[in-house]
């Protein structure tokens, strides 16, 4: 396994001082009982997700004078599962993963969710081993540089627009949204909105404005319906 780590480190251009961090980043939950690793990669994934979001936000802030809403859409395109899985495939991250025999047999090594989670865990491991600047450099080199390609493919479209297109394609119906709850003082309300296709409630989303809650409901709806990797 150490040889595999050496090949991966050489491929991505980052060499770990603490090899156990890299090993943990590459250990799927399913493999913990079958390996000698002390833990799986979900905590590192949690950390890497935050590091990536900060790196993407800083990059976009300096890149463009576009308004907040448009930059948010650009960031969403960069950090969405589909893009992260594609990056993981490019660096052949799947072949380095420790997964259970059952997970392997079911195609887990190539599953987009597994790959994107492992990539975020790898970012978290780089952050702990080398600091934010190196983690940001990794994000820039492998993820953020894909922005132009994603924009050209329309991946920055807001979730409500995508959900509406999919609903019309599959059902011939335009979805609608309802506010389910609103809590807090007028200047700091938090909203819960639900998206419906006809009479069927598909999903809910929360946000500090109705617009954001509806966007999150649409995102959850895309996931619920299996319409892409939003």
Catalytic residue (choose from 45, 103, 120, 129): 120
CATH of domain 159-225: 3.30.160.20
Within the chain, all domains assigned CATH 3.30.160.20 are found at 159-225
- CB atoms near residue 76 (< 10 Å): 21
Residue 120 designated active-site: yes
87-117 confidence digits (pLDDT tens) = 999 999 999 999 988 888 989 899 998 999 9
Identified catalytic residue from 49, 103, 129, 156 = 49
Say yes or no to pLDDT of 127 above 50. Answer: yes
Backbone angles phi, psi at 176, to 5 degrees: -130, 165
Is 34 a residue of the active site? no
**DSSP state letters, 9-76:** HHHHT---S-HHHHHHHTB-GGGGGGSS-S--SHHHHHHHHHHHHHHHHHHHHHH----HHHHHHHHH
User: pLDDT averaged over the chain?
Assistant: 90
Phi, psi of 204 (to 5 degrees): -125, 160
pTM beyond cutoff 0.85: no
Residue 2 has pLDDT above 50, yes or no: no
Domain with CATH 1.10.1520.10 in the chain: 2-152
The CATH H-level (homologous superfamily) assignment of domain 2-152 is Ribonuclease III domain (1.10.1520.10)
pLDDT in tens, 177-191: 999 999 988 877 889
Average pLDDT over residues 166-173: 94
């Amino acid at each position: 396994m150490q040889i595999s780590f050496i090949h991966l480190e050489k491929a991505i251009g980052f060499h770990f001082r603490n090899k156990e961090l890299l090993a943990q980043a590459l250990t799927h939950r399913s493999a913990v009982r079958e390996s000698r690793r002390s833990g799986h990669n979900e905590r590192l994934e949690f950390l890497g997700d935050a590091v990536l979001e900060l790196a993407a936000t800083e990059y976009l802030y300096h890149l463009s004078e576009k308004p907040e809403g448009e930059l948010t859409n650009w960031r969403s395109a960069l950090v969405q599962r589909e893009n992260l899985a594609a990056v993981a495939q490019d660096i052949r991250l799947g072949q380095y993963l420790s997964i259970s025999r059952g997970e392997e047999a079911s195609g887990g090594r190539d599953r987009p969710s597994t790959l994107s989670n492992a990539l975020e865990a790898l970012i978290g491991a780089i952050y702990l081993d080398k600091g934010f600047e190196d983690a940001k450099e990794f994000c820039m080199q492998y993820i953020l540089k894909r922005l132009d390609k994603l924009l050209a493919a329309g991946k920055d479209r807001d979730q409500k627009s995508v959900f509406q297109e999919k609903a019309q394609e599959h059902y011939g119906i335009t979805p609608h949204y309802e506010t389910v709850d609103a809590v807090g003082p007028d200047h700091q309300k938090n909203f819960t909105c639900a998206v419906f296709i006809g009479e069927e409630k598909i999903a809910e989303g929360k946000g500090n404005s109705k617009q954001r809650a509806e966007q999150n409901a649409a995102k959850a709806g895309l996931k619920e319906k299996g319409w892409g990797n939003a």
